[in-house]
């Protein structure tokens, strides 16, 4: 529940914030970033470039005002003229997806469900006038599409049509994991009036379809069922003949699958995929022969992970990769694996790119000082920032951000990122908020690190050092490092986090008595582990959608096979005791860390029961402060604005209470906030 603060206090707080809005962000600069400002941050999410390199498209994530609407952020569409640098809005009154330039037509297409539409449909926009018209609708939502080179045919994905069956009873139960709806693939000629879509005859759920440049074949990524576990671990790539609809080849691959893209000569496919079934991410590059399906793994020993690839010639790929805490952009020879670096590590963190004619590239990238924006490189690979979605941020004072390395107890070198408190004074020890990423197949880059569940610059503004460890099992450092935590749940991987905290203590930055820890999903597992097994080291914890009991987690999660293949490497029934001992509930008698537990009630990845269990164990077996907050309508992470803002407030208040406050009683269940808008 959100409660308004007292009338007099509310007046003064509203007055202070109102003056900040009246006189500009500089009035608030000395205070650093606030939670209210975080809640209104906009960011570029995807970038696209016309084939001639003249026009860039980008989508902008625009959050809803949490004081007005509890709903997810909207995704708006903008066009940027590369030569003039001017942007104009194309669609800002609804969320759009599936942005594309239509081949052979001077138009832009996207997916949207507009007022009056029964399903998500394909729309076409004239970039000059901005006028849109519906190009194609299907009986179920279109979830994705790809244009053929003629600009008339699309291959699209949509849920299998199902007829509603009338029941003679007034109530129907839900049959778990049965009677599921697949997503099918179809081919449609949108230029032919009255043309009926042809289904691509592959069995299972289709996750991606890509036309060959000559329009004779399609690459189809399909899993046997729509279950999430099959999406992760069982996708295969089939080559389908356009005319006959026959499957002419199957790509030799197993394990996780990412991007698929055809070579310009139609002879090869490049995949971002797992190296093996045990690779925790799709982060390697494989080249597949389109006739035989045989694959070649390139650069298996690359000490990074590939994030995106695009063909730049018959045997040349441009790539974007994560490397340590940085990003790298370059070219890759599809035959030899030889690499040439164009944009080295150490600068802007690049997350995606698109290329056009004359060597022009556009990128989506961020830095420690700003969230993601659109950047352009006009052939020289010098980046020019073209958008400024949050101009007020330029006046907000930020804490210094730095990549650090330290040695774990077994000699492993571990990287992390540290945000220093605002106005940091060397020799002064500060409370620390340790933020643990999920996965564990993920990592933090040295870019923008502040969000609703990541204290970042908000923590720095409130006098905290904020620490982001990339513990073993993290990505961005090659296959060996990503697999180094397998078969050792909560073992050396979480010891790395404690060793990072020790590094901060030894270097005079951290106050050993004021260490906090938080994280979501696998980071929530780490938080629960630190709050029980390592409770003597942590003074406060905030666990989000986290794991507390590996035994019950296996039976209630939607990804048990993924857990086996890329994490545990042992079936649960082969070692019940081992799984139990690596569960936080096993160590609850040692729990002295005040723990705030938060969870989405509709989470299928980590069942809310994991939070119930830990809450009940701590509450029953100890006198340690514990609280459980549930978010109705939310799943594995909060998507809607007010739920996010509520999470932010509760998280920071918990840390302030137990890392700063003398009073060790639990905060009130209600929040004290002003009733005000945070509009720009």
Strand partners, 101: 108
Query: CB burial class (10 A; 0-12, 13-18, 19+) of residue 261?
Result: middle
- 2-4 and 43-49 strand pairing: unpaired
Q: Which residues of 188-224 are buried (b: 16+ CB within 10 A; e: fewer)?
A: bbbeeeeeebeebebebbbbbbbbbeebebbbbbbbe
Distance CA 503, CA 442 (A): 22
Which residue matches tokens 């060790």? Answer: 664
**Half-sphere CA count of 37, side-chain side, radius 13 A:** 28
Q: Which of 173, 139, 171, 142 is nearest to 155 (CA)?
A: 142
> Would you give the end-to-end CA distance of the chain in angstroms?
25
What is the 3 state secondary structure string of 584-651? Answer: HHHHHHHCCCCEEEEEECCCCCCCCHHHHHHHHHHHHHCCCCEEEEEECCCECECCEHHHHHHHHHHH
pLDDT value of position 16: 35
Distance CA 432, CA 435 (A): 10
Reduced to 3 states, what is the DSSP secondary structure of residue 126? coil
pLDDT value of position 675: 56
What is the 3 state secondary structure string of 326-364? Answer: EEEEEEEECCCCCEEEEECCCCCEEEEEEECHHHEEEEE
CATH topology (fold) of 397-670: Rossmann fold (3.40.50)
- What distances in angstroms separate CA 539 from CA 505, 515, 583, 590, 655, one per listed residue? 14, 5, 20, 13, 9
Residue numbers in the chain where pLDDT is lower than 50: 1-30, 677, 680
Strand runs labelled E in 392-533: 401-407, 413-419, 430-436, 465-470, 510-520
Reduced to 3 states, what is the DSSP secondary structure of residue 522? helix
Whether residue 311 contacts residue 263, with contact meaning beta carbons closer than 8 Å, is answered with: yes
pLDDT value of position 678: 53
Kind and range of the H or E element at 153? Answer: strand 153-159
List the chain domain ranges: 1-29, 397-670
Distance CA 286, CA 294 (A): 10
pLDDT value of position 159: 97
Kind and range of the H or E element at 349? Answer: strand 349-355
| Cβ neighbours of residue 667 closer than 8 Å, sequence gap 6 or more | 650, 653, 654, 657
Query: 522-530 and 492-506 are packed helices; what angle lies between their axes, rounded to 10 degrees?
Result: 60
Q: Which two tokens stand for residue 131?
A: 């006028």
Q: Which of 594, 595, 493 is nearest to 544 (CA)?
A: 595
Distance CA 543, CA 517 (A): 8
Strand partners, 209: 220
Distance CA 660, CA 152 (A): 63
Q: Which two tokens stand for residue 660?
A: 């700063």
Length of the chain: 680
pLDDT value of position 674: 59
pLDDT value of position 467: 98
């Amino acid at each position: 529940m959100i409660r308004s603060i007292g009338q007099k206090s509310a007046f003064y707080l509203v007055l202070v914030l109102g003056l900040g809005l009246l006189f500009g962000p500089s009035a608030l600069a000395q205070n650093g970033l606030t939670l209210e400002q975080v809640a209104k941050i906009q960011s570029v999410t995807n970038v696209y470039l016309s084939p001639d390199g003249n026009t860039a498209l980008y989508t902008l994530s625009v959050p809803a005002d949490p004081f007005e609407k509890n709903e997810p952020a909207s995704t708006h569409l903008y066009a940027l003229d590369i030569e003039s640098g001017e942007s104009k809005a194309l669609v800002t009154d609804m969320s759009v997806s599936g942005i594309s330039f239509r081949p052979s037509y001077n138009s832009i297409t996207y997916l949207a469900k507009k007022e009056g539409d029964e399903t998500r449909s394909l729309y076409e926009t004239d970039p000059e006038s901005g006028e849109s018209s519906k190009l194609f609708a299907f009986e179920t939502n279109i979830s994705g599409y790809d244009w053929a080179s003629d600009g008339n045919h699309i291959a699209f994905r949509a849920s299998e049509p199902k007829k509603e069956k009338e029941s003679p009873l007034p109530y129907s139960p839900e049959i778990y994991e049965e009677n599921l709806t697949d997503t099918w693939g179809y081919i449609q000629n949108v230029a032919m009036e009255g043309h009926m879509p042809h289904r691509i005859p592959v069995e299972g759920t289709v996750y991606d379809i890509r036309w060959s440049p000559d329009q004779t074949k399609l690459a189809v990524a399909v899993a046997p069922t729509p279950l999430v576990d099959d999406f992760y671990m069982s996708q295969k790539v089939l080559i389908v003949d356009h005319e006959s609809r026959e499957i002419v080849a199957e790509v030799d691959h197993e394990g996780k699958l990412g991007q698929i893209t055809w070579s310009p000569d139609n002879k090869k496919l490049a995949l971002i995929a797992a190296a093996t079934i045990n690779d925790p991410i799709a982060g390697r590059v494989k080249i597949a022969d389109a006739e035989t399906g045989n694959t070649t793994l390139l650069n298996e020993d690359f000490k990074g992970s590939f994030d995106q690839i695009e063909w730049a010639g018959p045997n040349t790929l441009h790539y974007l990769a994560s490397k340590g805490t940085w990003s790298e952009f370059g070219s890759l020879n599809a035959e030899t694996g030889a690499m040439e670096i164009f944009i080295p590590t150490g600068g802007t963190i690049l997350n995606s790119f698109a290329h056009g004619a004359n060597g022009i590239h556009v990128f989506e990238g961020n830095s420690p000082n700003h969230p993601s924006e659109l950047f352009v490189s006009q052939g020289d690979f010098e980046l020019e920032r073209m958008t400024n979605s949050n101009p007020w941020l330029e006046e907000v004072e930020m804490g210094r951000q730095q990549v650090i390395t330290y040695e774990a107890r077994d000699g492993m070198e571990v990287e992390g990122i540290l945000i220093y408190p605002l106005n940091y004074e060397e020799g002064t020890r500060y409370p620390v908020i340790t933020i643990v990423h999920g996965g564990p197949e993920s990592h933090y880059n040295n870019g923008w690190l502040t969000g609703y569940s990541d204290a970042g610059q908000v923590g720095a503004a409130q006098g905290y050092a904020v620490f982001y460890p990339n513990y073993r099992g993290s990505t961005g450092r090659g296959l060996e490092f990503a697999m180094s935590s397998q078969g050792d749940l909560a073992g050396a991987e979480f010891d790395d986090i404690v060793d990072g905290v020790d590094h901060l203590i030894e270097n005079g930055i951290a106050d050993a008595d004021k260490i906090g820890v938080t994280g979501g999903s696998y980071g929530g597992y780490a938080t629960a582990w630190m709050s029980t097994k390592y409770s003597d080291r942590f003074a406060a914890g905030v666990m989000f959608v986290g794991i507390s009991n590996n035994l019950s987690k296996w039976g209630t999660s939607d990804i048990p096979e993924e857990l086996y293949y890329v994490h545990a490497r042992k079936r649960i029934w082969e070692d019940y005791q081992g799984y139990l001992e690596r569960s936080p509930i096993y160590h609850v008698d040692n729990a002295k860390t005040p723990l705030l537990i938060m969870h989405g009630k509709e989470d299928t990845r980590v069942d809310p029961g994991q939070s119930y269990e830990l809450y009940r164990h701590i509450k029953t077996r100890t006198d340690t402060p514990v609280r459980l907050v549930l978010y109705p309508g939310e799943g594995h992470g909060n998507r809607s604005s007010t739920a996010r803002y509520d999470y932010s407030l509760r998280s920071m208040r918990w840390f302030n209470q137990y890392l700063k406050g003398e009073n060790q009683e639990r905060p009130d269940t209600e929040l004290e906030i002003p009733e005000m808008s945070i509009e720009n």
